[in-house]
Amino acid sequence: MKIFTKFDYNTVCKKVLEDKLGNLDLKYRIIAFGEVEFLEKIPSEKMKLLKEDLEEYGITIIENQKTVLIEKIKETILEMVSSDEPLNVKASVYLSEKLSHSYGYLSNLFSEITFSSIENYIMLQKIERAKSLIIKDNLTLTEVAYKLNYSSVAHLSTQFKNITGITPSQFQRIITKRRELANKQ
C-alpha cells in the first residue's frame, strides 16, 4: 500500500522548534519563519543541546548575518512561489520590499554566497512547485502556468524542460502511468 502526503514546511518546522525549545525549558518567542527570539540568556550547554537536537531534523542555527539574509531571501522566494495567488509584481520588487534592501544588493550577495543567481533559484523553485501542482493537485498546465505567474504555457514548458530534461506533458504522462501501476497493485 502506498499513501501520498502533503504538508506545510512552515508548520512542520515551527512544530519541531516549539517541541525542541520546550524540551529544554527555554523562554522564547517565534518572530517569523526561521526566526526565534530568546527572552533570557541561554547557557552554552543548552545552546549546544539545541543545535544538536535541531540538526537531527536538518535545521541549522545560523550565526553569520550574510547567511541569515540569504536564508531570508530563499524563504521569501519560497513564500512567493508557494502563494496560491499569482503576484502582480516583479520578483525583484517583491524581494526588495519584503527584505528592505535594494534588489542589486540582494542579488550580488546571493550570487557571492551561493554561486548562483536569484533568478536561477526562483526558476528552480517554480519548477519544483510546478511538479508538485501536477502531482498533488492534478492541475492542467494552463492552471500551473497561471498559478506560477508564467506569461504562457510555452514559457513554463521551456523552463521545465531546461531544468528537468523533459516537458511538463511528458512529466504528467509519467505520473499518470505510475498512478495506474500503483492502483493495479
Q: How confident is the model at residue 166 (pLDDT cuts 50, 70, 90)?
A: very high
Q: Would you list the domain boundaries of the chain? A: 8-61
3-class secondary structure, 31: strand
CB 114 within 8 A of CB 138: no
What is the pTM for the complete model shown? 0.69
Which pLDDT score, from 0 to 100, does residue 104 have?
A: 94
Q: How confident is the model at residue 182 (pLDDT cuts 50, 70, 90)?
A: confident
Which pLDDT score, from 0 to 100, does residue 159 have?
A: 95
The letter for the amino acid at 74 is K
Between CA 145 and CA 151 the distance in angstroms is: 7
Name 28's Cβ contacts closer than 8 Å, sequence gap at least 6: 21, 36, 37, 38, 39
82-126 confidence digits (pLDDT tens): 888 777 788 999 999 999 999 999 999 999 988 999 999 999 999
